Structure 1
């Protein structure tokens, strides 16, 4: 039987790329291959409909093994990642109890967020009571002005336990540029601060001290190549400044960690993490770090290869989380977690699905942790190392992303990351990308299920939305800052604003589907129209069909409809639309035709104004209807 299996494909002759192309061209029946089959990414390169072995034969890294420089396939030989849970620390005893409980439920990495006024030796001791720093990854963040003080106290505490310093691991994260990116506030003393952070944490060699916030770009709506290019530029500037101030290259590199966001572009995100490791390895290697201890991972010229390993903490995206149909956020974060793990990250935080409308509940947090545990314990993602290796598609994505990210890195590095920040160049680039994505969502070229496509028709969120999150959900306020800052709005917020306005108005408009004529077309168009208007929270009244226009209009008025949508075929619109409009035009109802028939200009000449179709800007069209209906 096994020999028969070995010969299974020997009876089939090989098929060349040319033969595949001939078959595709034939099936396209004259349509343009480039327009129909080739996808142009936001990253600026084309993706073909199929790839073959010949497409990866010139890629230099495909013969590398996991754990081998330049670490495209991961910095380690096995796919072990830390399951991280973030804890906002207000009460230190309560936070300790929560952390201890989490460690008994599969979490092996803790992220403590501590407010500046609570940074004391006693509080840190209470927080870490009973938690072993040599068994658990411990991560600490605070306001950037207090990171040095926090680092000093944490290092003193861990040293006081008399543990092997090389057994203790984690981070005390200082991001020198987060204030500019998020609030527009400059940090002119950042060079001295990063040196101080390195020196304070020196007794704990495996504690990272400098954080590169690539996730800030993701959460602002950046494209993947921008997140990588700007993050690498930021990392290189910090690395260069540390070396200039006397920190050895290997020490400096090993104190830097990268926080990356992870979005829903599944395969592209996998490629992103592979690309980021590769490019960072090349950057660090250019400084020729020399091992300061006995290490077998050296190049022939004694360059330390360990220093070139990028430490990646991945955080599922905030930008694409939605207020409406929030359970869909679980689906988003699950695929995002899969991308990160397959991409071989070092640690991962999954955002709770409910953080868009409330302070996350214990249920939301528990689900977020369990999403990782399911991938580990039931799907066995930790048992396979870099499963994407050899995939013609992902290997090509890795190379194409690397090219675009490296180009942006060089452009930014020539200017200098900090100087580019002060000039607003980076913020403008990211915010321009975010605006393009907002526009794409409005046109349904980008889809958020439950928001601009397939909305939950009868869902309401005003009653669930916590007061302190209301402003965030209906658009961030404009604030004056010394420097430009990144966009803070989530992708769904324009639609949130629209639908919340409907809810708060106290009037839910009724949209009546006047379905008539061709069965297939009227059903398709009524479904399209229902999804379209439900994005604004309108009540949808669908129908099986009417024999006459008069019957349909009468039924609509019996339902007290505010909008009547004619759903039929293009051929029938020339006759049916004028008939329906004549009966509706003197009433209170707004008349809409579903589709863009060839006779549209003739119908407009008869006074019909409103048409909805696949080329409509959904958001702007619905804003118009809200205005016509008196909804602010």
Structure 2
């Protein structure tokens, strides 16, 4: 029997991998592919919509330094020393006690209640407040909602006083209800500073588990902003909130302890993980500047992005929100909300709420995501990305501060202009399908059966990345006869199949059906098939070698048969062809032009 050595060397016999060797090999592959670049980094790196560079490879030299320990400044590795599970926070916009109880009985540990204050007693009638956390979202009626919640907690505490010890000395004015309430009251220090300050003083004095105010960064994300911009805006808003609370008499430590931050989690898992880690790093820097050590860790609530959700093929939203939930939990969020897959359509049904809460359960109970503290820690890519996001966001925060800070007219105007510019860049990437949206701009299903849901009780604001494609789909669906385009498939299936699929996918992204002519080469036969289809727009689909021989004659025959516009799937110049379809072309522009050619009024 051979006894293996104490230390197994898995890489024995292989030369050491170096960045220089990777550059040499990668550059060779690029040149053989026809890409000329000074370095593979130059050719393969890309920049996010708000200017953060993502390199193609990372190694130990990219590590920015010691990220610290979990639960200790600068809190990159998490605000909790021992890690652990996040709160499963489900949002409710309708006053439905049965839906609330169903959530709590099936794994939800936190309620995000966007209901009217007068509905809270009915919604929480059978809820044990001491067992869950509550996040209020009452807008202009925050004070009323908070007072109602305080009264409900006091009533429950009074009923249970015979079995509960009295509040210990020095516990503040919360009385017996002090231990009943955890969560946040949802006050906005910038829109309603008086209410935020009053509630913060009350929470600081008597409700140690309750925070009064929320710094909500999701509106910056929903306006089209990038991750670094969302971070910078959140820090600016957080600093403005600190000024409000300390100006109202709270100490700096108390003010830090009254804020909860809300961020968007997207299907880009690494950017979301790095964003949440960077957010804690940034807020720790603010605490350091303020000389605060207690309550310096940032309390985070991550919500799966509204902007990434689609109304078309909404089932794909399950995949998006699963990635986002995983990233939020891995990134160290204290509470996570998974939006139901049908959230774009209106109020979610019971099945959608079930899938949303089960997303958490699968990650926590089956994948054991929360068993490891900061599982992304030590990754060259994530550590570098965390630092790059933080640096970019800090620069942006300082720019906002120089303009007057969050809440000032100049500061808000600056933010609006910056977000609008980023939104425009993102919209262009979506239009050209560089940012593909599965089920909408890619792989659309024209035969899908639309889901119907009751409308949201409050207006839904913000951009949706899929919005322009979905508006064209709606317009096409509203026509008495679905608009359609003829695909002139030249030659055998093997020659035209790839480009036929590409062209059909592009036109169907706008709700335009496609009709194929079959494997033909004779121009007159193709023109006859075009006439029989009833289409008025055609697209040639074949291989480059067949285009050289057949594209011109086929285009001439189609024109003679009445084609208003002739597209060609591919590149090159061919007589009679009006325009080209290719990877990276302006797909929205193609669709709008086709609608015009077909006489569909936009």
Same fold per TM (> 0.5)?
A: yes
Q: 1:362–1:468: structure 2 CA closer, same or farther, 3 Å change rule?
A: closer
**Which of these residues, 152, 157, 172, is aligned with residue 157 of structure 1?**
152
* CA offsets 1:484-522 (integer angstroms, 9 cap, x no match): xxx723121111111111111112123232222476552
Deviation at 1:331, TM superposition (A): 0.8
Secondary structure of 1:15's counterpart equals: coil
Q: 1:358–1:558: structure 2 CA closer, same or farther, 3 Å change rule?
A: same
Specify the alignment match of 2:213 in structure 1. 210
Deviation at 1:260, TM superposition (A): 0.6
Deviation at 1:440, TM superposition (A): 1.4
**Counterpart contact for 1:79–1:344, Cα < 8 Å:** no
* CA offsets 1:453-493 (integer angstroms, 9 cap, x no match): 111133354xx456958x99xxx9xxxxxxxxxx7231211
1:425 aligns with 2:414: yes
Specify the alignment match of 1:83 in structure 2. 88
**Which of these residues, 15, 20, 23, is aligned with residue 22 of structure 2?**
20
**Which of these residues, 227, 233, 236, is aligned with residue 236 of structure 2?**
233
Specify the alignment match of 1:264 in structure 2. 267
Specify the alignment match of 1:316 in structure 2. 304
**Which of these residues, 360, 365, 380, is aligned with residue 368 of structure 2?**
380
1:403 aligns with 2:391: yes
1:575 aligns with 2:549: yes
Distance 1:23 1:579 in 2: 45
Distance 2:573 2:102 in 1: 67
Distance 1:366 1:226 in 2: 33
Specify the alignment match of 2:168 in structure 1. none
**Counterpart contact for 1:516–1:549, Cα < 8 Å:** no
**Which of these residues, 446, 452, 468, is aligned with residue 457 of structure 1?**
446
Comparing 540-549 and 442-451, the one that deviates more: 540-549
Distance 1:345 1:400 in 2: 20
Q: 1:574–1:24: structure 2 CA closer, same or farther, 3 Å change rule?
A: closer
Q: 1:228–1:506: structure 2 CA closer, same or farther, 3 Å change rule?
A: same
Secondary structure of 2:66's counterpart equals: helix
Q: 1:467–1:543: structure 2 CA closer, same or farther, 3 Å change rule?
A: farther
Secondary structure of 1:221's counterpart equals: coil
Secondary structure of 1:490's counterpart equals: coil
Secondary structure of 1:407's counterpart equals: helix
Distance 2:65 2:414 in 1: 33
Q: Which runs of 5+ in 2 are unaligned?
A: 162-175
Specify the alignment match of 1:181 in structure 2. none
**Which of these residues, 502, 517, 523, is aligned with residue 497 of structure 2?**
523
Q: 1:11–1:578: structure 2 CA closer, same or farther, 3 Å change rule?
A: closer
Specify the alignment match of 2:45 in structure 1. 38
**Which of these residues, 188, 194, 199, is aligned with residue 175 of structure 1?**
188
Q: Which runs of 5+ in 1 are unaligned?
A: 178-186, 290-302, 477-486
Deviation at 1:308, TM superposition (A): 0.7
1:243 aligns with 2:250: no
Distance 1:545 1:343 in 2: 52
1:66 aligns with 2:70: yes
**Which of these residues, 579, 583, 586, is aligned with residue 614 of structure 1?**
583
Comparing 211-220 and 355-364, the one that deviates more: 355-364
**Counterpart contact for 2:272–2:327, Cα < 8 Å:** yes
1:365 aligns with 2:336: no
1:147 aligns with 2:142: yes
Distance 2:560 2:14 in 1: 70
1:128 aligns with 2:137: no
**Counterpart contact for 1:152–1:200, Cα < 8 Å:** no
Q: 1:126–1:457: structure 2 CA closer, same or farther, 3 Å change rule?
A: closer
Distance 2:485 2:384 in 1: 47
Q: What's the TM-score once normalised by structure 2's chain length?
A: 0.89
Q: 1:404–1:421: structure 2 CA closer, same or farther, 3 Å change rule?
A: same
Secondary structure of 2:131's counterpart equals: coil
**Counterpart contact for 1:258–1:313, Cα < 8 Å:** yes
Specify the alignment match of 1:284 in structure 2. 287
Distance 1:279 1:12 in 2: 42
Distance 1:308 1:251 in 2: 10
**Counterpart contact for 2:432–2:587, Cα < 8 Å:** yes
Secondary structure of 2:355's counterpart equals: helix
**Counterpart contact for 1:141–1:147, Cα < 8 Å:** yes
Distance 1:127 1:426 in 2: 38
**Counterpart contact for 2:499–2:542, Cα < 8 Å:** yes
Distance 1:112 1:615 in 2: 43
**Which of these residues, 578, 584, 596, is aligned with residue 627 of structure 1?**
596
Distance 1:89 1:552 in 2: 57
> How many pairs does the alignment contain?
572
1:565 aligns with 2:539: yes
1:341 aligns with 2:324: no
Q: 1:55–1:174: structure 2 CA closer, same or farther, 3 Å change rule?
A: same
Distance 2:555 2:115 in 1: 63
Deviation at 1:591, TM superposition (A): 4.4
Specify the alignment match of 1:494 in structure 2. 468
Distance 1:109 1:467 in 2: 24
Comparing 194-203 and 535-544, the one that deviates more: 535-544
Q: 1:551–1:274: structure 2 CA closer, same or farther, 3 Å change rule?
A: same
